[in-house]
Amino acid sequence: MVTTDDQSGPERPDYFVRSAEMTLAVLLAFTANEPRQTVTQIADKTGVSRARARRFLLTLTDLGYLRSDGKSFELTPRTMDIGASYLANLSLPQVADEHLKRLAVELNETTSLCILDGPDVVYVARIAAPRLLGVSVNVGTRFPAWATSMGRVLLASLPEAVRESYFASLTLQAFTEHSVTSIDQLRVEVEHAAVHGWSLVSQELDDGLRGVAVPVRRGTQVIAAVNVSLQSHRVSAGSIEASVVPLLQKAALAIGDDFGGRRGGVRS
């Protein structure tokens, strides 16, 4: 418990502003495991009275760093501004590179990192396996988000209204005989990604090629997706959840942590 009341706590230099310490203590009380907090919870965690905790929570809400449903509070994306200057010196592809390389070695397959840009996924990092695949893909390559495993896990992270607007704008194209051909079927696939935290697209974009993806999170925010491309004859669809998905999730967690995730902080 951190005690931050002005009248108590360890001796500090004359310049020390305890309200600044309290502000940070309140913000840091929100974690991935406890993203929503009540006034009582914050008071207990920071060691101050409920009235004092409430004043800080309401002030941070007015400033846009928190939002409230009237009972509990949670962080808003604006909190990312606090570390933006530091994180601006970090490149997401650069951070991801060593983890993608390790994953490519573990699976002996091509690994990628993608972001969502409008209706498309864009490859921002890619480590190729020493084999020629049917689809020529480089950093900067775009594919329709709906047709890829990366796109589906990224779409799954969007607010429902935004996702529905995306669905309404689509004209589906059959890249292969296995491609999803209806919005209803696509909704099922995206919902699977939302519920299970990973997506498999099997030979929908290119015959003989499967894509598996999981989201990369910085804190609670999905910022990208990690993908592995698998030749269908090398790994059976039934074994992917047990043999591939855990390795993808491990790599995604490491990338998120190294890019400013709350679990381990930003590491240089």
Q: In the chain, where are the structural domains located?
A: 18-84, 90-258
In this prediction, residues 218-246 reach a mean pLDDT of 81
- Tell the CATH superfamily of the 90-258 domain: GAF domain (3.30.450.40)
Lowest mean pLDDT among 50-54, 81-85, 154-158, 163-167: 81-85
Q: What gap in Å lies between CA 195 and CA 18, rounded to an integer?
A: 42
CB 122 within 8 A of CB 115: yes
- 138 Cβ contact partners less than 8 Å away, ≥ 6 residues apart: 123, 126
Bridge partners of 214, per DSSP, are: 226
30 φ/ψ angles, rounded to the nearest 5 degrees? -85, 125
Q: What gap in Å lies between CA 99 and CA 127, rounded to an integer?
A: 10
Better pLDDT: 7 or 57: 57
pLDDT in tens, 148-184: 999 999 999 998 888 888 898 888 888 888 888 899 9
CATH of domain 18-84: 1.10.10.10
pLDDT at 88: 56
